[in-house]
A and B are shown apart, each in its own frame.
Chain A
Amino acid sequence: MLHKEQNLETVLSEYKKEQGSLIPVLQRAQAIDGYLSKPVMSRVAGELGLYESDVYGVATFYTQFRFAPLGENIVKVCHGTACHVSGAEEISDSLCNHLKVEEGETTADGKFTTERVVCLGCCSLAPVVMVNEETYGRLTSDKVKKVLDKY
């Protein structure tokens, strides 16, 4: 993860003079809270001399940016081609059943947020799930539940 201890002020002062720094600033800002709140985006716009609508336009263009708080752990289920033909849909179903959420949602206790991603690049281990920065491969509907129990 990026440096959590860094607050928005340091990020902004670091990048303020750099050309085209909006995306790295948003990435750093998101690393602080796990998502981009409205006040944070306004602050970024003000400091970088951009319209708020521009900042929002850029943030919503890229899938990396989130606009709601995250759970404690983020579970990314890979739906790349290799995972798709190896049963990624079953993994997603099993995981969502187990956590009692829909894909993209956060569990009631705030412990997990699930997310559907395009490709994690570990195709020969398909199907693959990534929890935070840890990747788990060759999963089955049962194995994925055991992976979650570790957290």
Chain B
Amino acid sequence: MEDKWRVVVGLGSCGAASGGRGVYDALKEGIDQRELSAILEETGCIGMCYNEVLVDVIDPKGRRTLYKEVTPEKIDRILDEHVIEGKPITEWISLSEGVVTEDDAFLKDQKRIVLRNCGLISPESIEEYQAKDGYQALERVLKDMSPDQVISEILDSGLRGRGGAGFPTGLKWRFAAQSDTKPKYFICNADEGDPGAFMDRSVLEGDPHSVLEGMLIGAYTIGAEAGYIYVRAEYPLAVARLKIAIRAAKEHGFLGQDILGSNFSFDLKIKEGAGAFVCGEETALIASIEGKRGMPRIRPPFPAVSGLWGKPTNINNVETLANIPWIILNGAKAFASLGTEKSKGSKVFALAGKIKRGGLVEVPMGLSLREVIFDIGGGIKEDREFKAVQMGGPSGGCIPAHLLDTPIDYDAITATGAIMGSGGMVVMDETTCMVDIARFFLNFTQAESCGKCTFCRIGTKRMLEVLERICEGKGRMEDIGLLEELSESIKTTSLCGLGQTAPNPVLTTLRYFRDEYEAHIIDKRCPAKSCRPLLTFTVIEELCTGCGLCAKVCPVDAAKGKKKEPYTIDQALCTKCGQCLAKCKFEAIRVE
């Protein structure tokens, strides 16, 4: 294999959505036509979603050249000039040793533990995972470590649950290990439900074996013989790759009976979720696996005592588990040397929204939000002004510009009113309306509330109604107080995390962007020019050339006029859809 060229196409969901399959097919045809001996492979997400489609060309000496924004039209030059003549095409390079590119900044401050293999190995090849020390941690644990030793190691590492709540993983394992009822279950929570988050999807698509290995180590530690991976049905590629990985692990003796001759046996099944955000909550997830409506129940008893089918159960998130093999192989100290006093290791974030370099990044804890957004993410698209970053999805909040130096640390983020969450980071600029964002999240939590607790079920509905009327310019001054009162009641009277955190997006925007609420309510104005009912579209006569494009696209015939003369917009008919604004080539539409 060493003496051949390798051409690797990134085919995670992002790569595929950007046309990766077409690039792969074109490369296959090109390689066949030229009768090259080059090996064509696919890999998972490398994290640079903004550069998709990415193609990695690896020469026989193992030197990598990563090409960005590859299209089927570009492959002839890549094959002819690079693979045949040995001359890389400098202007298309994203990353390569000895070549300085803008993308170097994207990786410079990252610390890839969870994503150590993503984008580097074929997720469908257990051999490639093994070549990267895969399953060696499991072997070490089964041969040389007692469950107590594993628990101490994980406790010493300081690893906290990456699903959002940040509970120490070692403690969770200890509770489950202490229960002496049998059988016990070990569950991987891959029900990544936060809108704006795709970390778990990328890990499952890019390196599924790292999650399986983490689960196996955990199952051995707590004494579980069976387990489930509860994964969103919206992630078909992740499910497909997990199935392949499970089959391969069974064939290689890492899964099944008497694993590696240790007497430890573990049976693993995939359960596909059916679309319910609340199932990210442990007890709701358990109810869903049991085939019931996914509604949370009162704790205690905690799942560690009485979980799936009333038996002791441990649940960890995908990212948490992918950390485990690394900690075992590199030691708790190496992990704990990264990060802050109470937040150790690294954290994966999905960078999205109005950011230049959107994608998947993994940074050591303790880095500031500013470093993540501006140094790694390259700042705001079109160099607009940064307004806020939303962290923690529907349970989190919007962090404003003056807090950009907040470090990535569970407690520091919580102090801002947001939460670390599972890792969604949606960046917002001056064109994003903060009242609209609060409305967006309340719309989400209101729809996803399971309905068990009255305040969550009805309170979120009332909050949504208030936010909707503010966005429509019908808000009243007492609405702000009403929102605060409802928030407090919902937080204190809801059973699970969904209700307890549902008001956070409203509370943080009220705390940092109260002036925007007031502009909507008092002046009937949306400062971000985003809430349509509060906008008026008019034609700027001096700039209008009378081309008539606005009239052509207007769905309600509100734009009228004669060719070559300034057009007008009939305010009585205008539905404020914004299509004239998008279409006008002369910037002749004014929005106020």
Number of interface residues of B (CB under 8 A): 58
Taken together as a complex, chains A and B put the C-alpha atoms of A121 and B276 apart, in Å, by 15
Chain A-chain B contacts (Cβ-Cβ < 8 Å), number: 141
Q: Mark each residue of chain A from 35 to 63: 1 if its CB lies under 8 Å from any CB of chain B, else 0.
A: 00000000000000000000001100111
Q: Which of A76-101 contact B (CB under 8 A)?
A: 79-82, 84-86, 90, 93, 97
Nearest CB in chain B: distance from A71 CB, A: 19
Q: Which residue of chain B has the shortest Cβ distance to A55 in the bound complex?
A: B291
Tell me, yes or no, whether B175 is within 8 Å of chain A by CB: no
Minimum C-beta distance from A72 to chain B (A): 19
A81 CA to B450 CA, complexed, in Å: 21
| Among listed B144-152, B162-170, B188-196, B494-502, interface-contacting one | B188-196
> Smallest CB–CB gap between A85 and chain B, Å?
5
A137 contacts partner chain B, Cβ-Cβ < 8 Å: yes
* Separation of A45 and B422 alpha carbons in the complex (Å): 37
Q: How many residues of A contact B (CB 8 A)?
A: 42
- Neighbour of B271 across the interface among A24, A61, A64, A137, CB < 8 A: A24
Q: Enumerate chain A interface residues (CB-CB to B < 8 A).
A: 19-24, 26-27, 57-58, 61-65, 79-82, 84-86, 90, 93, 97, 117-126, 128, 133, 135-138, 141
Q: In chain B between 568 and 592, which residues have their CB closer than 8 angstroms to a CB of chain A?
A: 577-579, 582
* A97 in contact with B290 (CB, 8 Å): no
Neighbour of B17 across the interface among A63, A85, A119, A135, CB < 8 A = A135
> Which of A19, A61, A118, A136 is B195 in contact with, Cβ under 8 Å?
A118
Q: Which of A84, A90, A137 contacts B440, CB < 8 Å?
A: A84
The reply to whether the CB of B18 lies closer than 8 angstroms to some CB of chain A is: yes
- A63 proximity list for chain B (CB < 8 A): 274-276
Set B13, B276, B354: member contacting A62, Cβ < 8 A? B276
Bound-state Cα–Cα, A128 to B49, Å = 13
Q: Are B49 and A124 in contact (CB under 8 A)?
A: yes
How distant is B281 from chain A, measured CB to nearest CB, in Å? 14
Q: Is there an interface contact between B14 and A137, defined as CB atoms closer than 8 Å?
A: yes
Q: Bound state CA distance, A93 and B52, in angstroms?
A: 27
Q: Report whether B390 and A93 are in contact in the complex, using a CB–CB cutoff of 8 Å.
A: no
The answer to whether B352 and A124 touch across the interface, beta carbons within 8 angstroms, is: yes
Tell me the nearest residue of chain B to A137, going by C-beta. B17
Which are the 8 A-B pairs with shortest beta-carbon distances? A124-B358, A81-B196, A124-B49, A62-B274, A80-B195, A123-B352, A135-B17, A63-B275
The answer on a CB contact under 8 Å between A82 and B352 is yes
| In contact, B393 and A81 (Cβ under 8 angstroms) | yes
The CA-CA distance from A97 to B579 in the complex, in Å, is: 12
